Amino acid sequence: MLDHRHFHKYLSRADIETLVHDLATRINRDYEGKTVVLVGVLKGSFLFMADLVRALTVDARVEFVRMNSLGKTKESPGTVVFAKDISTDFRGKHALIVEQIIDSGRALKFLYDRLKAAGAESVEVATLLDKNDKRLVETPVKYVGRKTKDQFLVGYGLDLEESARNLAEVYFLKYPN
C-alpha cells in the first residue's frame, strides 16, 4: 500500500489538460494535411497518449513499444532492447514518439534511431515532462509540455514500483529528513 503522506501535487488535472491541449495545438498545426503515427512508450505513456490522441484533429495512427535496459549497473548504463518492437511499416510515414517523461535519454535515442532506420519520413518527440538536466544522450525533443527538475514523480502513468499510475494528477515524492 502506498503512503500518500509524502505525495505533493506537482500537476493538477487542469494543469495536465492545459499542457495536453497546448501540445495538441502545436502538433495539429505541424501535421496539418499529413498522417502521423504516434509511438507510445509503454507503460508510462498510455494515459498521456490517450489524452493527446483524443485532442488531435489530424489523421493520427497509434503504435506502442516497450523497452528494457539490460545489464544496468552503476558502472554501465546497460543496453536498451525492445520487449515489444514496432509492428508498423514506417517507410514514408511521419513518426511522433510519445513519452510521459524523459530523463537520461538513452531509451529515447534508441527508439529514435530505430524509427529512422525503419524509413520514417520524419521522427519527432512529444513529452509531457522533460528532465533535461538529467540528459546523458541528446535527442531532439520538439514538443515539451513542461521542463522539470530532477525529482521523483508519480501518477498519470508514472509509477512507484508499478503503483500510482492510476492517479489522475502528478505528484512528487518528498520524504522527511
14-150 CATH:
3.40.50.2020
Q: How many CB atoms lie within 10 A of CB 18?
A: 14
Q: What is the pLDDT of residues 116-149, one digit of tens each?
A: 999 999 999 999 999 988 888 888 899 999 999 8
Residue pointed to by grid coordinates 498521456 = 48
- At 73, the pLDDT band (50, 70, 90 cuts) reads very low
Parse the chain into domains and list their residue ranges: 14-150
pLDDT on residue 123? 97
- Whether the CB-CB separation of 96 and 125 falls below 8 Å is answered with yes
Q: Residue 28 class from Cβ within 10 Å (0-12 exposed, 13-18 middle, 19+ buried)?
A: middle
Q: Using the Cα atoms of residue 30, residue 52, residue 174 and residue 77 in order, give the sign of their dihedral.
A: negative
Catalytic positions are: 103
